[in-house]
Structure 1
Amino acid sequence: MATGSEESHELQPAIISYVKDLPNVCSLAGLACTILAIYFSILGVYHAAMIGMIWAVAFDWADGLIARRMKGRTGSDQIFGGQLDLLIDIVSYGVTPAILLLSYGEFDPIFLPVAFVMLAAAAIRLSYFSTYGLSDESKYTGLALDNNNIALVFIFIFENVFPHEIFTVILYVTALGLAALNVSQIKTPKFSGVPRNVYLLTFYTFGITGIYGWKLL
């Protein structure tokens, strides 16, 4: 006769079963874009890295939008999806920018503190959000991490306008500023999920893709 713990264990779904959940598919697609962004950052093909970074944001927004509109998702589906999203966020918005900064600085150890600060701020912010959630129904405490990618891919458009040394300073000051805003007490609106903002991000994503795609030619 099975014990209660054995029965509970038998009722647990297979780990891989959550992959068929459409919002999780979007999350994993965003992770694939993030891997490409990391890969191209290490290679120094920054224009391709920027495309991967902005599409990571687009898929991140898409998974939440789909999840809110889907019917029949169980509580475990929602919990799993939320945890998956948080884990991918630390890679997309913490690890990836840190690697970008190190690569652009030609992996000089002097840039390690800046990369650490940005990654640490991302980890602290995500831990805070998973503990307390939104400050109210529509606002975050601190700047949401997806804004890091949105800002960095825009800043990078001007890379060729300035000498390398000057743009390096601009990039690193921007990174430190974003990290400070991530862990600040300012209240920022929740942009994702608002139809108008979704359209704006869609336009921005395709625009950024077009700009950097042209630069790659």
Structure 2
Amino acid sequence: MMSGTNLSEPSPSILSFAQDLPNICSLVGLLCAVLSMYYAILGVFSAAMIGLIWAVFFDWTDGIIARNMNGRNENQRNFGGQLDSLIDIISFGICPAVILLSYGNFSPWFLPGAFLIVAAGVLRLSYFNVFGLVGESTYMGLAMDNNAIILPFVFLFIGMLDQPFASITLYIILIVFAAMNVAPIKTPKLSGRWYYVLMIYSLLITFIYGWKLLISQAS
């Protein structure tokens, strides 16, 4: 039994938390990640990159909404924190692993890399859930959402390479990200004005990859 539960009060329903605005935003981000995985499996990597960057945007947005909402009770805050963490491992752990596997044509040689990406994500989020920030605005290790911010930009150049060199390059980059996620290094938490930078960046990435999609369909 979880501590802090009042036995005299009935437990709220699961779906009642889906009406909480920050959680709705989190679930929209999850949808973007699922779409990213779907298009990665289909080999439409431009669409996968668009889904990935918007998963980051909504992940940042849910926290901003939660911090500025009045009247949220402790259950809503705790539930939102758990939901956000679970969605993070899907969006920034499993999703990049699926992108790697698909880009490597689901070769068994890419399975170890996919496992390491997800394992690093699980370890990192578990550590954060226990210890939190180092100070007021510093993470231990590279935050996983940073992987998903950098990847769409890097992928623009990876796509210019010939196979199998492009697949190997992506493999190495994602393993480096995974290593940095669990490394004993301190990285700043991006917040405040960085949110507007992310918004502009997300729109720019969407425009670039959307244009690439239009060109590929026209050719």
* TM-score interval for Structure 1 and Structure 2 normalised by the shorter chain: over 0.9
Write out per-residue CA displacement over residues 19-55 of structure 1, whole angstroms, 9 at most, x where no aligned residue: 1111000000000001100100111000000000000
Please say which of residues 162-171 and 200-209 is displaced more in the overlay. Answer: 162-171
The aligned counterpart of 1:4 is: none
Q: Please tell me whether residue 62 in structure 1 is matched to residue 69 in structure 2.
A: no
1:209 to 197, 201, 206: 206
Structure 1, unaligned stretches of length 5 or more? 1-6
Among all aligned residue pairs of Structure 1 and Structure 2, give the percentage whose two residues are the same amino acid: 54
| Large movers: runs of 4+ above 3 Å | none
Structure 1 stretch 167-176 or stretch 128-137: which is displaced more?
Answer: 167-176
TM-score (normalised: structure 2):
0.93
Deviations 1:74-127 (A, max 9, x none): 111100000000000010001000010000000000110011111100000000
Q: Which runs of 5+ in 2 are unaligned?
A: 1-5, 215-219
Structure with more of its chain in helix, by fraction: 1
CA distance in 1, matches of 2:170, 2:211: 22
Alpha-carbon offset, residue 159 of structure 1: 3.1
Aligned residue runs from structure 1 range 116-195, under 5 A: 116-191=115-190, 193-194=191-192
Distance in structure 2 (CA, Å) of the matches to 1:41 and 1:202: 23
**SS of equivalent to 2:64:** helix
CA distance in 2, matches of 1:19, 1:116: 31
TM-score, normalised by the number of residues in structure 1: 0.94
Q: How many residues align?
A: 209
Aligned twin of 2:96:
97
Q: Distance in 1 between matches of 2:9 and 2:194?
A: 43
Q: Give me the whole-angstrom Cα distance separating, in 2, the residues matched to 1:213 and 1:47.
A: 7
Q: CA RMSD in A?
A: 1.1
Corresponding residue of 2:86: 87
**Counterpart contact for 2:158–2:170, Cα < 8 Å:** no
In structure 2, relative to structure 1, the CA distance for the partners of 1:106 and 1:84 (3 Å cut) is same
